Amino acid sequence: MILSRNKYNAIKCEYKGIKFDSKKERDRYIDLEFLVLGKKIMHLEVHPRFDLMVNGQKIGRYTADFRYRENEVTVVEDVKSKATKTRDYMLRKKILATYDPPIHIKEV
């Protein structure tokens, strides 16, 4: 079901009751579902949230597209295009990389 277009002209859509910002994000979710079925990954989450902390203070929040476990490693994933790699996103990505343990974002 197509909902609308976002500011990057991507078509928002819904699949299995989950709203996605683009068809590309929805299609990645479908790919990840198959990996879960094939037991390649586990604990798939959609739109996990992370508090952005600097010097012990919460300064904002980052919502990733997906989080899952692969080979005992937690993977945080974001579907990105050139247009969506904004300065704001890059700053949030750098803040998460400073955490202990660091949170690295896999871009697809």
- The chain-wide mean pLDDT, for the chain, equals 93
| pLDDT > 70? residue 6 | no
Report DSSP letters for 29-90, one per residue: HHHHHHHHHTTSSEEEEES-EEEEEETTEEEEEEE-SEEEEETTEEEEEE---TTT--HHHH
**β-strands 49-54, 57-63: how paired?**
antiparallel
Token couple for 108: 């697809």
Q: How many domains does one find in the chain?
A: 1
pTM score: 0.89
Residue predicted with more confidence, 69 or 3: 69
pLDDT band at 89 (very low <50, low <70, confident <90, very high): very high
Domain with 39, as residue range(s), is 2-107
Give the residue with greater pLDDT, 31 vs 1: 31
How many C-beta atoms surround the C-beta of residue 90 within 10 A? Answer: 10
Is residue 7 predicted with pLDDT exceeding 90? no
Q: pLDDT by residue (tens digit) across 9-53?
A: 789 999 999 999 999 999 999 999 999 999 999 999 999 999 999
